[in-house]
A = this chain, B = another copy of it.
C-alpha cells in the first residue's frame, strides 16, 4: 500500500519539532527541508535542513524540484519533491514539517495528504516558548507573534487541529490521526476484495 503523506505545521514556536521527533521512526520518515536560513547552534546539514544558498534554492524552484516552498522573514524554506515521491511509492509514511504557506501548496499538488495544524494552547504560551528558545531577538519574537496570529487564521484549511499543550498528549493525538487515516475505506478496498475472494 502507498504510504501516507502527513503535513505537520504550526506557527513558529508551536512545537512541531518536538512532536515530530516522537513520531518518526521505522517506516515513518522525516522529509528534510531545504532552507536558505543560517543554521542554529546544533543544527546539522542534511539532518535538520539542507542548508543551501539563495541561488541554489532558486535554481531548484526553476527546475520544478520543490513540492512546496515559502519565503518567511527573508529566508526560503521548501520541500524537495523526488525523495517524498520515492518513499511514498515504497510504502513509507512521510512527515512534512512545513510552514503554513507551504501546506496549502502541498494539499493542492497532493490532495490525498493529511494535514495537521499544531495549535499553541494560548498566545501567551506561544510567546513564552519563543522567548525561552533564546535564539531570537525581542524584535524577531514580536514579528513572529504577529505572523503567528495570521497563520492561526489559516488553520481552517487543515484536516486536523491538535492543541500542543502537553507534549505526550500531542504525540498521542498525532499517532491516532495517522492510525485512523490508514483505516479509511479508500485505503482498504483491496482488503475487502481479498476477504471476499476466498469465500
Contacts and interface: CB of A to CB of B under 8 A. Distances in A.
Give the number of times this chain occurs in the complex, counting copies. Answer: 2
A196 B156 contact: no
Given A123-B199, A195-B152, A198-B123, A160 B176 contact: no
A196 B162 contact: no
A17 to B, nearest CB: 20
Contact of A192 (B119, B179, B180, B184): B119
A183 B162 contact: yes
Given A176-B176, A179-B173, A180-B176, A120 B160 contact: no
Interface string A169-199: 0001101110111011100110110011011
Contact of A180 (B153, B179, B198): B179
Interface residues of A, number: 38
A177 B195 CA distance: 22
Contacts of A159: 184-185
B185 A161 contact: yes
A81 interface: no
Contacts of A179: 172-173, 176-177, 180
